[in-house]
Amino acid sequence: MKFLNNIINKRVVKSLFVYCLVSFSCLTLLSGCYYKSYDVSGNIHISNNSDLPIVRPKGLASENVVIPYDSYIYDDSDSDYGAGLLINQTQNTVVCAANPHKKIYPASMTKILTAIIVMDAIENKQISLNDTVVIKKKIEFNEDNVGVLGLQPGDYITVDELLHGLLISSYNDCAIALARYVGGNVSDFVDLMNQKAVELGATNSHFVNPHGLHDNNHYTTPYDLYLIFKEFLSKKALISIDSKSTYLLKYYREDEKIELELTSTNAFLSNSFDTPTGYHITGWKTGTTEKAGNCIILEFVNDETKEKYICLVSNAKDHEALYQSVNNMLKEIY
């Protein structure tokens, strides 16, 4: 009897072992956590040059390019910028990337998220483009030489005109006026910005204002900005504004109509630099502060193939280096 029990116990143990082994194999395959050898002999260069972990909500991988943490996919050691990306939107592939998960200061590229929050409010019927915004309180900034439209208490201007000032000439007081109108106050509007960033998968970002003037706690990554910019590009009203190199903005002070000719801060559109041959630009936003350097994010469309590309350059040393870096990245397209 004892001998029979030993046989039965051994069979039970063996069966349990086989069951566990099969279960583990199935779970591993289902979860994708298995080892596979990849050919790394191509043009992708990987080096350890990132400073933020990559964390994404479920479901984003199928809709967006996924760039692994600790990736440096661009052999450009002589570059005059700190981080950058070029992504083929049509094929959902990376053309080149430098420090895609590096913590950066976005400067006025912040305003693409500000514009998204405003458009969300319009689409939700909370406000409209034709709403008149009355400037009730003085708009002040804690630094000099801040680009502003010059709005004063008592002035009134439409949401549409504020968006033109925000995106074409990057006026910081337009950002504050929109934030107060949509959010009730700047703090609550910024909460909406951070909530939207998380919703879009930009989980390595934190915003403290709607304009992008420097704050150590106001930061993002090139990859996060790519995710935010994709949402921006889905808003037709914003793309319509971005298509203009100039615009005659109008607002009112008491009974006086004030008109101001806006000029695009995008040097490709203002013809300070030649637009890369064979491409046209849809959406874009520039940014410049001392800490952020010279920055730009924009979408190019190939005139022949119609393929769309999102390009970002951050922390370029000067204006010329910024636009030259964009051209250099586009040369990586084959």
Question: Tell me, what CATH number does 197's domain have?
Answer: 3.40.710.10
Q: Does some domain include residue 229?
A: yes
Q: Is 220 inside a domain boundary? A: yes
Asked if the model's pLDDT at residue 52 lies above 90, the reply is no
* CA distances to 234, 236, 248 from 263, in Å: 24, 21, 9
Domains of the chain: total: 1
Query: Which candidate, 23, 175, 42, places its Cα nearest to that of 111?
Result: 175
CA distance to 41, 67, 146, 225, per residue, from 70 (Å): 18, 9, 36, 17
Query: pTM of the prediction?
Result: 0.81
In a domain, 319, yes or no: yes
Tell me what pLDDT residue 47 has: 31
258 half-sphere exposure, CB direction, 13 A CA radius: 15
- Alpha-carbon span 180 to 196, nearest angstrom: 17
Instruction: Let me know if residue 42 belongs to a domain.
Output: no
Evaluate whether residue 27 is within a structural domain.
Answer: no
Determine the pLDDT at residue 17: 41
**What are the counts of helices (DSSP H) followed by strands (DSSP E) for the chain?**
8, 9
Model pLDDT for residues 108-156, shown as the tens digit of each residue: 999 999 999 999 999 999 999 999 999 999 999 988 889 999 999 999 9
Residue 19 placed within a domain: no
Task: Give 181-217 pLDDT, tens digit per residue.
Answer: 999 999 999 999 999 999 999 999 999 999 999 999 9
In a domain? residue 141: yes
Written as one letter, the residue type at 90 is: T
Would residue 253 count as lying in a domain? yes
pLDDT in tens, 267-326: 999 999 999 999 999 999 999 999 999 999 999 999 999 999 999 999 999 999 999 999
DSSP for residue 110? G
| Residue range of the domain that includes 238 | 107-330
Q: What is the pLDDT of residues 170-191, one digit of tens each?
A: 999 999 999 999 999 999 999 9
- What whole-number distance in Å separates Cα of residue 50 and Cα of residue 224? 14
pLDDT of residue 334: 73
CB-facing half-sphere around the CA of 141: CA atoms within 13 A: 22
DSSP 3-state assignment of 25? helix
